[in-house]
Structure 1
Amino acid sequence: MRLHDLSGGGEVLDRVALVARRALRRYEVSPDAEVSLLNVSENATFLVDDGGARSILRVHRHGYHPPEAIASELDWLTALREDGVVPTPAVVPARDGSRVLTVEDPGAAPRHCVMFEFVPGTEPAEDRLVEDFEPLGAITARMHAHARRWGRPAGFTRFHWDLPAAFGPAPRWGRWRDGAGIGREQREVLGRLELELRERLTRYGSGPDRYGLIHADLRLANLLVDGAGTTVIDFDDCGFGWYMYDFAAAVSFIEHRPEVPKMLDSWVRGYRTVLDLPGQDERELWTFVMLRRLLLVAWIGTHPVADIARELGAGYTEGTCVLADRYLTNSR
């Protein structure tokens, strides 16, 4: 097996590449399969090309999900596809039938690996953001409707995207105060934003009509569009959270763009073709956008080697302060 096009370098990435090669020995692929690193985010994702037969291998980071949580993710994305809700990539089992492999990582704890079928398609085009958010709203509503009625398997376990996960003593993506470019002025503005978010979301509540199983990362990079429709990929962050958070995740990293208000309107129109969307839920969509934005400030600070974190850095924090000022002014 040949490994090429590794970006980023470093000892950790070299070990992850070795884990990927070791994992492939347990799948039905030839020794000559080529393995290319596609991206590094929470996990490392590799393209496997076995003489033209392609698949995707995900090597998990340490400490993010235990095997039973990964299996629960796979249960939901499989149910969504088999129940005809939305296309998702099929899981490719290992030779012994395992969906989740645990593979030795030299010099560190073992890592978990999952293989998926390769799905053709490209991200939605940037010049069609407003138009594409209407079908995305409908897709999101179908997933929410499925989550509400689906009988989850015994042992199903995923984490929560709630206030403790965002701002508690051990926040999932770290403390936003440790983000890139955080100084006195940024702490003051974003501290006021955190207080406002806490108050509004506490009032909003987390009843079953507002809070449940969500994808939690429905951004454009996790949608593949081709002539057959839209496939939803990367359920690694799926868990229990506010349903409206899925809109916020969809505009991740582009929250500042002038098209976003029209994208929101399009998303709401699409959502309402499938499910009712009460006015109070619609009014809080910007609250969730700001919650997600503050979480991403923390994420960038704790993921300095991730491609997009290196690209955005402190500039994302400054942009968040601008949006926070606007949001806080409009919330009065």
Structure 2
Amino acid sequence: MALIENTGIDRDKLLAALTAWPGLARAQCTLINHTENATFRLDLPDGSKKILRVHRPGYNSELAITSELTWAKALRTDMAVQTPIAIAGNNGHLLQSAHVSGAYAPQFMVLFEFEEGNEPQENENLSAAFVELGRLAATAHNHVQQWQMPERFERMRWTASSILDPNGLWGDWRKAPGMTEQFRSTFDQLDALLRQRLAEFGQGQDRYGLIHADMRLANLLVDGRHIKLIDFDDCGFCWYMYDFAAAISFIEDSPEIPALKAAWLRGYRKERTLADADEAEMDTFVMLRRMALTAWIGSHSETPFAQSLAGDFVRRGAKLAQDYLLRFGAA
């Protein structure tokens, strides 16, 4: 077996699975990202490119993936948001599956048109990028408010319980690498306070609905004057302001965050009004997202990206938690 680096996917089986789509038999396959799923660039003999996403076994169901693709297409059609364009296979379906690894069940796969563009970099002036992130978030939230969702529509629900419980969607934050007894005490206090504040904040339809849930720089492609929003794999039902928390994933302790938050809010308010109560609770969603990421790093320790973050992520998160607890008080 010729396994592709750290993915558990057999290269020969993957290349054989490409026959599910027309014209891919001679494609060259290059791994470009491996976090939740494995994403590949396919280079074709005529010089064109495609993007193939191979789904992590057991993460999203067939209906959930189809629902994701449905919403991304609706955003493109209804709101002119540039989202990934999925390509149907020989059988006419967007979602394909094949045994490409040692997993018991076949893995789902989706083929996308290749999108030109570059991800904004953290060492750049990010103000304009965060204005655009805020504008895109507001546009998506407006769409959800008026969109007639299909009767059969399934996406995960991001709640205090589904993020903070030991069997959370992304794993158990208590098992994160570096979670010492001292840090555990701080995180336990944060866990309790987040649950309390979120219960009081509630899930009214004006503040909780379908969101992208991973709308960060890594999922923006800038192509000249065109901004493209990609990777809807984590989209689900959550508080709207969680989209800001996702925007600052992994850089929550940067000194630039106040300025980036202000830029995001400027962009958001170009498209949608924001209640004072929602803005006041944004730091709660930042910490909720940080807890989700802490759990993710522990449960995805086989991925190079999680390994690169694991060293001091809990220590840095504990400092953020202490600051939050001082500002908002113990539960």
Under TM normalisation by the shorter chain, which class is it?
over 0.9
Cα distance in 2 for partners of 1:157, 1:128 equals 38
**Secondary structure of the structure 2 residue equivalent to 1:13:** coil
Residue type of the alignment partner of 2:110? V
Partner of residue 42 from structure 1, selected from 36, 58, 63: 36
Contact 1:19–1:59 (CA under 8 A) maintained in structure 2:
no
Q: Does residue 297 of structure 1 match 2:294?
A: yes
Query: Residue in 1 aligned with 2:58?
Result: 63
Give 1:299 deviation, angstroms. 0.3
The runs of 5 or more residues in structure 2 that have no matched partner are: none
Give 1:229 deviation, angstroms. 1.4
Cα distance in 1 for partners of 2:164, 2:194 equals 10
113-122 or 166-175: bigger deviation: 166-175
Contact 1:256–1:323 (CA under 8 A) maintained in structure 2:
yes
Partner of residue 83 from structure 1, selected from 78, 92, 106: 78
Q: Does residue 200 of structure 1 match 2:197?
A: yes
Give the 5 Å matches for 1:149-160. 149-160=146-157
Cα distance in 1 for partners of 2:80, 2:198 equals 29
Cα distance in 2 for partners of 1:106, 1:220 equals 30
| TM-score (norm. length: structure 1) | 0.94
Residue type of the alignment partner of 2:68? E
Query: Residue in 2 aligned with 1:21?
Result: 15
Give the 5 Å matches for 1:232-247. 232-247=229-244
Residue type of the alignment partner of 1:116? F
Contact 1:19–1:111 (CA under 8 A) maintained in structure 2:
no
Partner of residue 110 from structure 1, selected from 99, 106, 112: 106
Fraction of identical pairs, as percent: 44
Query: Residue in 2 aligned with 1:96?
Result: 91
Cα distance in 2 for partners of 1:95, 1:235 equals 24
Cα distance in 2 for partners of 1:22, 1:76 equals 30
Residues 1:18 and 1:164: Cα distance change in structure 2 (over 3 Å): farther
Q: Does residue 275 of structure 1 match 2:256?
A: no
Cα distance in 1 for partners of 2:33, 2:229 equals 17
Give 1:167 deviation, angstroms. 2.1
Query: Residue in 1 aligned with 2:27?
Result: 33
**Secondary structure of the structure 1 residue equivalent to 2:135:** helix
Aligned CA-pair RMSD: 1.5
Give 1:288 deviation, angstroms. 0.4
Q: Does residue 53 of structure 1 match 2:24?
A: no
Cα distance in 1 for partners of 2:160, 2:213 equals 14
Give 1:147 deviation, angstroms. 1.0
Cα distance in 2 for partners of 1:169, 1:84 equals 38
Cα distance in 2 for partners of 1:125, 1:30 equals 32
27-36 or 137-146: bigger deviation: 27-36
Q: How far does the alpha carbon of each residue in 1:181-207 deviate from its partner, in whole angstroms, 9 at most, with x for none? A: 011011001111111101111111001
Partner of residue 326 from structure 2, selected from 325, 329, 332: 329
Contact 1:20–1:59 (CA under 8 A) maintained in structure 2:
no
Cα distance in 2 for partners of 1:114, 1:142 equals 25
Give the 5 Å matches for 1:222-233. 222-233=219-230
Give 1:18 deviation, angstroms. 4.1
Residue type of the alignment partner of 1:99? L
**Secondary structure of the structure 2 residue equivalent to 1:291:** helix
Residues 1:179 and 1:169: Cα distance change in structure 2 (over 3 Å): closer
Give 1:129 deviation, angstroms. 1.6
Give 1:21 deviation, angstroms. 1.5
